[in-house]
Amino acid sequence: MEKIHRQHKILIIEDSPVNAKFLEGVLKPYYQSDIAHSGLSALEIASSDAPPDLILLDIIMPGMDGYEVCRKLKADDKTKNIPVIFMTAKSRVEDETMGFDLGAVDYITKPVSPPIVLARVRTHLELKDAKEALEDENVRLEKKVQEGTEELALTQDAIILSLTSLIETRGNETGGHLKRTQHFVRVLVEHLVTHYKFSPFLTDQSVDLLFKSTPLHDIGKVGVRDAILLKPGKLTHEEFEEMKKHTAYGRDTLVQMEKAFKGRPAAPFLGIARVMAYTHHEKWDGSGYPEGSSEADIPIPGRLMAIADVYDALISKRVYKPAFHHSEAEEIIAQARGKLFDPDIVDVFLRVRDEFRKIALTYADFEEERRLLSK
């Protein structure tokens, strides 16, 4: 991990001096840090003239527990935007849900692993910096709308790059997965723009925004526990129910991004990304999640991403399965026409199957995948 260019400050709220010193040692090569051993002293530090950039917050503390500290931080205009990462020995889903409901951005289970702490801190600082940069840039561009169009596009790309980095850090998908699905969606869209069912939505602007937004479809996985997200085997029913929550986590994350614009028109790609993140696991026959929507009630971004995501999952090697041959993946999707997937989009997929294979080959992660795709 390289040293960052701007020294961020981390506030460690931990009643145990031993644990606090341990965390301080983990962070010291990369960040400044303050330590608070109680909720009251933590609130004083956080609301000072030199507030922290991020807070690592223990839940179980005497007096004011971590939940109450977080509640007070989020209720104060001076501290509500400081990212809070909970650290606790509690591991129940209900505990994690409560933390996210209070406004925490992440949850680290004790005993903590230094690489995980550093990765989570780094990615959430990148996200915070990106949000602040986007907000500042938007204020400036409002005064120079005409000449700022190109700069806004560059800013959008920078935000997407930061968020994509966050996804790659937390998830088991690779950068190749994000590039492949992005290009899969673009190919589908290019062949659907003249279709009467899709043309009203697929304007020149929305086509570009769909391409930019696609890498953010799984951003909600930052809210899923490592034990589930990185599990090499099949998930239990309870674990799968928790995994399914990543669609809501993704939507909520992007809603918060949109709110950062404080009433000004939000960057359009965030709206499309939000819809795609929330609906890309819906199925044509209503058997999907999170809403169980069916047919045309499923937004177009979700329908497009559903096929791109499933095709890529099939032809990609995972720790729990080998890569499928392109023809096998093609057949599986064809058989799901009108069941799991929009039949019109499947028809387009079957027409552009060779383009999908070429994209997959170009961005393949493993030799096994290249070999199967080259046959």
For residue range 33-56, what is the model confidence (pLDDT) as tens digits? 999 999 999 999 999 988 999 999
CATH code for 9-112? Answer: 3.40.50.2300
pLDDT at 145 over 70: no
pLDDT at 266 over 60: no
pLDDT score, position 162:
64
For CATH 3.40.50.2300, the residue range(s) in the chain are 9-112
Q: Which two tokens stand for residue 49?
A: 């003239």
Query: For 158-374, which CATH superfamily applies?
Result: Hypothetical protein af1432 (1.10.3210.10)
Q: CB 133: neighbour CB atoms within 10 A?
A: 14
Residue 186 near residue 307 (C-beta atoms within 8 A): no
For residue range 267-304, what is the model confidence (pLDDT) as tens digits? 678 889 999 999 999 999 999 999 999 999 999 999 99
In terms of Cα–Cα distance, which of 189, 151, 204 is closest to 355?
A: 189
- Between the CA of residue 223 and those of 30, 94, 242, 335, what are the distances in Å? 24, 13, 10, 33
Separation of alpha carbons 27 and 9, rounded Å:
10
pLDDT at 351 over 50: yes
Residue 253 near residue 222 (C-beta atoms within 8 A): yes
3-state SS record for 118-171: HHHHHHHHHHHHHHHHHHHHHHHHHCCCCCCHHHHHHHHHHHHHHHHHHHHHHC
For residue range 176-203, what is the model confidence (pLDDT) as tens digits? 888 899 999 999 999 999 999 999 999 8
> 């609130």: which residue's tokens?
43
For CATH 1.10.3210.10, the residue range(s) in the chain are 158-374
What torsion do the CA atoms of 192, 325, 281, 84 make, to the nearest 10 degrees? -110
Q: Indicate yes or no: pTM above 0.85.
A: no
Give me the count of residues in the chain. 375
